[in-house]
Amino acid sequence: MTATHDHDIDLNSTTQNSAPRGATMTTKLENTIPYKGDDLPQTMAKTMAWPMLGMGGMSVIVGFILGIVGGTNFGDAFSPTGVASDLSTGKTLSQLSGAFVFLGMGMILGAITMTLVNIVRTLRDAGRDVQTSLGAEAIQIKKPWSGLYTAPVMMMGLMIEIAAFIIGIVNAVTLGGVDPNAVASPAGASAGDLADIGIVSAFTAWLPGLRLTGLAVILVAIVFVLTTIQKVIRFQGDRISELAA
């Protein structure tokens, strides 16, 4: 009996030691694929997060400075020594200020989205390291729908902000070409100046809505990537539990 028991132990030991290091282990988890590197959106997030944050910050600062200068011109226009050109310059700089500030905000939110994507990448790679250290096949969760739509939705929001920026610049250029006296007193403006003032006024009426829509779309992308992080963390926990079992 003792010899047989020893023999059984030897057989089990031989079977365990004969398994090559890094052997493939099956999984019962659903929606998994073998580990793979970064795809195009993840590569862009890796390289563009900090540059986009820097560009967005600079754009906001430029818009802030333009707003201060524009406000100073408004104050001068209504002072005892004010002239019509002060009012025209103030309105023009106001258009430029809004254009730069909202573009900067969009880029900063885009940088936040990319940083969250980088967190997904870090979680994925950490899971790979843990699995390979345990001699298991490195697998990852198949990219969920939230991960598939994060990059397109974020880019859509940025495109809206860029379009709003261009319209804001066109508004400022158009207003800058109008006779300052016509800006101060549209009733006495020529037909051409009056048409330009009307166009600028029309764009100014709905431009804030367009800008806020762009920011809202980028925020939706942030919700998507947070949902992806939640799914990845849950998968990592389930995978570790499976390997421990």
Most confident option among 5-14, 121-130, 195-204, 215-224: 215-224
Q: Which two tokens stand for residue 172?
A: 């400022």
The 10 Å Cβ neighbour count of residue 45 is 26
In the predicted model, what is the mean pLDDT of the chain? 88
Q: Which domain holds residue 94?
A: 33-244
Q: Tell me, yes or no, whether 10 lies in a domain.
A: no
Residue 16 lies in a domain: no
Q: Is 21 a domain residue?
A: no
Tokens of 125: 């790679």
d(CA 94, CA 62): 12
Q: Are 105 and 212 a contacting pair, CB within 8 Å? A: no
Number of domains forming the structure of the chain? 1
Asked if the structure places residue 24 within a domain, the reply is: no
Q: Residue 15 domain-assigned? A: no
Nearest to 71 by CA among 46, 48, 96: 96
pLDDT at 225: 97
pLDDT at 2 over 80: no
Asked if the structure places residue 138 within a domain, the reply is yes
**pLDDT, tens digit, 9 for 90 and up, residues 167-193:** 999 999 999 999 999 998 888 889 999
Q: Tell me if residue 244 falls in helix, strand or coil.
A: helix
At 139, is the secondary structure helix, strand, or coil? strand
Residue 106 domain-assigned (yes or no): yes
Residue 34, φ and ψ in degrees, nearest 5: -60, 150
Per-residue pLDDT at 23: 43
Identify the residue with better confidence: 11 or 30: 30
Nearest to 66 by CA among 37, 35, 95, 88: 95
Instruction: Tell me, yes or no, whether 108 lies in a domain.
Output: yes
CA distance 81 to 73: 12
Distances (CA, A) of 142 to 31, 149, 167, 222, 235: 5, 14, 40, 19, 10
Instruction: State which H helix or E strand residue 16 sits in.
Output: helix 2-17
pLDDT for 18: 32
Q: What is the pLDDT of residue 20?
A: 36
Which residues lie below 8 Å from residue 244, measured CB to CB, with a gap of 6+?
A: none
pLDDT tens readout for residues 39-95: 999 999 999 999 999 999 999 999 999 999 999 999 999 998 889 999 999 999 999
